[in-house]
């Protein structure tokens, strides 16, 4: 049956999104998501992937995945708590714990469901969560799912965090209070003020949760934002993804053994969704081995990030105040930003426009994600194209 209500709901809302220019058109890749990509038969310089270290196409990861598929098959066959836990999953979790300098770790099928599963396994309706207003959607959804009272604090505003935490504490309404933040904010590339957050948390006995999706592999010799600040023993939940710098798929929490034991019996994606595939797990293990043994890829990532930043700044673009290789190029007006991104595309650079409501109105930007795999020639070519489009649109 074709529901009339559904039809009119979809028609109306899709038309509304399209009329506002907010309907996202997806361009399927005809290549891997490396520094050069192919879309509609056209090769382009890719400045839009989270494959920060180029590991998604690394031959060592591919070989490990193939070997694991040959030995264990393509699927885990069950959820982790039935019989979907293979020796590979255990090895991955041991490696993650060692890499993060924690007692234990638990792996999930994605970063998104890790946040959904981990937050809601510990927090509930008698609790409160202080959440940075710019936290990722998966944190927002995880907080909602927990049914805890969510109190947003102004982005990286420690005075606001302290005032709101104090108020929550003094109210006596909540059994547990958590503070949760991204380690690196992916729209601007800024780093959370973890030392100050930890100070407030210690003062008021708050549970600390850091989502380091964009800091792992990038900061603190690759270990992440928590290590960057030397706070490994001060953060309860060190959450991260295996899908960005590590190049594969999956999410994890690293922390104290008791916390991980609890997540293993209470986290719903761990209990009710099929385990990560053997190929993915084997590739993740290899990625962690690579990061544990060398900082060469991080060095290249930062060199490329700084090179692109200097280049764009030198041309006269506004690149915001990023503290990481993530390089926004702020255009401002939403429509202008989209036209700018489309012109880059036509000229051979793939860099997506990020506009309201993802970022505040009037701060539309084209976001650039240089990686360790880009060559200087590619970055120079991208800068030539940026200059051409900037001049054409009278932005420069
Ligand atoms: N947290 C943050 C901060 C993210 O940016 C993302 C991915 N966009 C996620 C969690 C979700 O991770 P995954 O893509 O591995 O599901």
What is residue 360's predicted lDDT score, i.e. its pLDDT? 87
Phi, psi at 342, each rounded to 5°: -65, -40
Q: What share of the chain is helix, strand, coil (3-state, %, to 5)?
A: 45, 15, 35
184 Cα: distance to centroid of ligand 1 (angstroms): 11
Residue 255: Cβ within 10 Å count: 25
- CATH architecture for segment(s) 57-293: 3-Layer(aba) Sandwich (3.40)
For residue range 19-51, what is the model confidence (pLDDT) as tens digits? 987 788 898 999 999 999 999 999 999 999 999
Q: What is the pLDDT of residue 21?
A: 76
Task: Tally the C-alpha atoms within 13 A of residue 58's C-alpha that lie toward its C-beta.
Answer: 27
According to the model, what pLDDT value does residue 22 have?
Answer: 78
Helix (H, G, I), strand (E, B) or coil at 293: helix
Which atom of ligand 1 is the closest one to the Cα of 136?
3
The predicted structure's pLDDT at residue 24: 82
Q: Which two tokens stand for residue 161?
A: 């965090």
What mean pLDDT do residues 111-117 have? 98
Q: State mean pLDDT over 368-382.
A: 98
Separation CA 123–CA 155 (nearest Å): 22
Q: Is 296 a residue whose pLDDT tops 90?
A: yes
| Dist CA 69 CA 283 (whole Å) | 11
| Band (282; pLDDT cuts 50, 70, 90) | very high
> Ligand 1, closest atom to CA 114?
16
Residue of 48, 138, 186, 243 marked active site: 186
Ligand 1 centroid–CA 330 distance in Å is 23
Q: What is the DSSP string of 338-352?
A: HHHHHHHHHHTEE--
Spatial strand order in the sheet of 207-211: 104-108, 251-255, 237-241, 207-211, 177-182, 128-132, 149-153
Gap between the Cα atoms of 327 and 343, Å rounded: 18
Non-local (6+) Cβ contacts of 339 within 8 A are: 393
Q: Is 144 helix (H, G, I), strand (E, B) or coil?
A: helix
Domain boundaries in the chain? Answer: 21-50+295-393, 57-293
Q: Alpha-carbon distance 83 to 266, whole Å?
A: 17
Kindly state the percentage of the chain with pLDDT values over 90.
95
Condensed to tens digits (0 to 9), the pLDDT of residues 55-96 reads: 999 999 999 999 999 999 999 999 999 999 999 999 999 999
Calculate how far, in angstroms, residue 247's C-alpha sits from the geometric centre of ligand 1. 13
pLDDT-derived band at 229, boundaries 50, 70, 90? very high
| Angle at which helices 278-293 and 59-72 cross, to 10° | 140
- CATH hierarchy code of domain 21-50+295-393: 3.90.1150.10
Give the pLDDT score at 71: 98
The answer to whether 363 and 330 are in contact (CB under 8 A) is: yes
Mean pLDDT along residues 333-345: 95
- pLDDT tops 80 at residue 1: no
Q: In Å, how far are 100, 101, 202, 227 from 233, measured between CA atoms?
A: 10, 8, 12, 9
Active site residue 244: yes
Q: What's the CA angle centered on 327, arms 325 and 328, to 5 degrees?
A: 155
Q: Of 149, 214, 228, 309, which is the active-site residue? A: 214
Clarify whether 31 is annotated catalytic. Answer: no
Q: What is the pLDDT of residues 162-220, one digit of tens each?
A: 999 999 999 999 999 999 999 999 999 999 999 999 999 999 999 999 999 999 999 99
Give the pLDDT band (50/70/90) at residue 370: very high
């Amino acid at each position: 049956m074709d529901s009339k209500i559904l039809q009119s709901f979809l028609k109306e809302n899709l038309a509304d999104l399209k009329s506002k220019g907010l309907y996202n058109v997806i361009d399927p890749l005809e290549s891997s998501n490396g520094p050069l990509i192919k879309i509609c038969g056209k090769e382009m310089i890719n400045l839009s992937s989270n494959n920060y270290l180029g590991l998604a196409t690394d031959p060592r990861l591919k070989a490990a995945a193939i070997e694991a598929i040959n030995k264990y098959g393509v699927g885990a066959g069950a959820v982790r708590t039935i019989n979907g836990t293979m020796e590979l999953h255990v090895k991955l979790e041991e490696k993650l714990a060692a890499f993060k300098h924690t007692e234990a770790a638990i792996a999930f099928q994605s970063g998104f469901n890790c946040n959904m599963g981990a937050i809601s396994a510990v927090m509930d309706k008698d609790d409160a969560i202080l959440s940075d207003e710019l936290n990722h959607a998966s944190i927002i959804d995880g907080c909602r799912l927990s049914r805890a009272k969510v109190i947003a604090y102004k982005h990286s505003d420690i005075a606001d965090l302290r005032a709101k935490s104090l108020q929550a504490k003094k109210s006596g309404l909540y059994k547990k209070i958590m503070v949760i933040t991204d380690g690196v904010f992916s729209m601007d590339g800024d780093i959370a003020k973890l030392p100050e957050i930890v100070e407030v948390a210690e003062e008021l006995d708050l549970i600390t949760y850091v989502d380091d999706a964009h800091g792992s592999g990038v900061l603190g010799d690759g270990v992440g934002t928590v290590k960057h600040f030397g706070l490994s023993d001060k953060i309860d939940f060190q959450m991260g993804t295996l899908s960005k710098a590590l190049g594969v798929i999956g999410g994890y929490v690293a922390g104290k053994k008791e916390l991980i034991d609890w997540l293993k019996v209470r986290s719903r994606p761990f209990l009710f969704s099929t385990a990560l595939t053997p190929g993915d797990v084997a590739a993740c293990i290899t990625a962690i081995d690579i990061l544990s043994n060398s900082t060469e890829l991080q060095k290249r990532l930062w060199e490329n990030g700084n090179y692109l930043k200097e280049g764009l700044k030198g041309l006269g673009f506004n690149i915001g105040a990023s503290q990481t290789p993530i390089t926004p190029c702020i255009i401002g007006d939403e429509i202008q930003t989209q036209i700018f991104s489309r012109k880059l595309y036509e000229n051979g650079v793939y860099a997506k426009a990020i506009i309201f409501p993802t970022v505040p109105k009037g701060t539309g930007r084209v976001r650039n994600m240089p990686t360790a795999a880009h060559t200087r020639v590619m970055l120079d070519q991208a800068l030539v194209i940026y200059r051409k489009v900037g001049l054409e649109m009278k932005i420069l």
